[in-house]
């Protein structure tokens, strides 16, 4: 395993604003925030990143998510592999796995596949969160039907106003209520200016349109949250983003920031 030199993301700052401040949307139907349950067969490219050693066995050790972009290649967030997220240096995690084909983390559907190699984007900057991407190589290939196409730069799916869906097993309320079954939330690609205004150089990060993508709802309500990191944002059948960061979850003034997949692919030299 190539040892990445990453400084960890300032998760503390994100966590600190999360519990009290978020005006959570009305109770019934939230997820990821404001989402709905989804079968894994509808998004077979969504995988869980897991380590039972680090995160315990209750939810199969899930701590982040990823997207299958090649039969043995998973794209995820760089910050998921940082010491701050893992609670230990990556090199010490002996049981890092990708769980594919399992929607319910309490079940035993699908497969747990050990990670053979990790490549963290050398351009990842934990202060701004720029270039928040990493590639995992699996010890065993997944079926070709699990692979999602990535959207290259200039793809129409990046246009503001585009409908997109984010998938994950993360916090459904912003108060630490982690889902055990996969959920999805409908969001919209927002213009770079929305996130640039929300996130000048802030404690959470700095919005940089080159390597980031802004998505959510102008009024808030639907969003990714803690635990969804690294997971896919999909539009027009193509992967456009990875859950990266935000200020709280589902807040109108804190849209979701995603790693821009076209940039990540270039920086990591990951094939389509």
- Distance separating alpha carbons of residues 238 and 261, to the nearest angstrom: 10
Residues 108-137 that bind ligand ARG (CB under 6 A): none
Residue 18 binding ligand ARG, by CB under 6 A: no
Please state the closest distance from residue 224 (CB atom) to ligand ARG, in A: 4
The reply to whether 81 sits near ligand ARG by the rule CB under 6 A is no
Q: Are 146 and 100 in contact (CB under 8 A)?
A: yes
Q: Which residue has the tokens 């049981």?
A: 95
| Both structure tokens of 178 | 């982690």
From 111-119, 141-149, 191-199, 243-251, span contacting ligand ARG (CB under 6 A): 243-251
Phi, psi of 38 (to 5 degrees): -140, 145
With beta carbons less than 8 A apart as the criterion, state whether 119 and 264 touch: no
CB of 230 to ligand ARG, least distance (A): 7
Give the burial class of 155: count Cβ atoms within 10 A of its Cβ; 0-12 exposed, 13-18 middle, 19 or more buried: middle
Given 43, 46, 126, 226, the residue binding ligand ARG (CB under 6 A):
226
Number of shown-chain residues binding ligand ARG (CB under 6 A)? 14
Q: Is position 127 annotated as part of the catalytic site?
A: no
Is residue 6 close enough to count as binding ligand ARG by CB under 6 A? no
- In terms of DSSP bridges, do strands 212-216 and 183-189 run parallel, antiparallel, or are they unpaired? antiparallel
Residue position matching structure tokens 């079940």: 107
29 among known catalytic residues: no
Q: Which of the residues are catalytic?
A: 79, 132, 229
Instruction: Name the residues that contact ligand ARG, by CB under 6 A.
Output: 14, 170, 223-229, 243, 245-246, 249, 256
């Amino acid at each position: 395993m190539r040892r990445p030199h990453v400084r960890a993301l300032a998760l503390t700052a994100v966590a600190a604003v999360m519990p009290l401040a978020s005006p959570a949307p009305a109770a019934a139907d939230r997820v990821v925030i404001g989402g709905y349950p989804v079968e894994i067969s509808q998004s077979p490219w969504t995988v869980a990143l897991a380590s039972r050693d680090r995160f315990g066995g209750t939810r199969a050790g899930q701590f982040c998510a990823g997207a299958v972009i090649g039969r043995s290649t998973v794209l995820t967030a760089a910050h998921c592999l940082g010491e701050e997220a893992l609670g230990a240096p990556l090199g010490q995690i002996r049981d890092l796995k990708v769980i594919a084909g399992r929607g319910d983390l309490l079940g035993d559907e699908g497969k747990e596949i050990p990670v053979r190699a990790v490549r963290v984007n050398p351009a990842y900057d934990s202060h701004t969160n720029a270039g928040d991407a990493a590639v995992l190589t699996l010890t065993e290939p997944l079926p070709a039907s699990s692979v999602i196409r990535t959207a290259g730069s200039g793809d129409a799916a990046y246009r503001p106003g585009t409908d997109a869906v984010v998938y994950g097993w993360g916090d459904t309320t912003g108060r630490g209520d982690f889902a055990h079954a996969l959920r999805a939330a409908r969001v919209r690609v927002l213009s770079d200016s929305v996130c640039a205004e929300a996130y000048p150089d802030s404690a959470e990060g700095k919005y940089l349109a080159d390597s980031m993508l802004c998505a959510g709802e102008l009024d808030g309500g639907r969003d990714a949250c803690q635990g969804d990191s690294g997971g896919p944002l999909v539009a027009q059948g193509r992967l456009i983003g990875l859950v990266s960061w935000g200020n709280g979850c589902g807040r109108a003034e804190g849209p979701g920031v995603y790693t821009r997949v076209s940039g990540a692919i270039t920086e990591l030299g990951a094939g389509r």
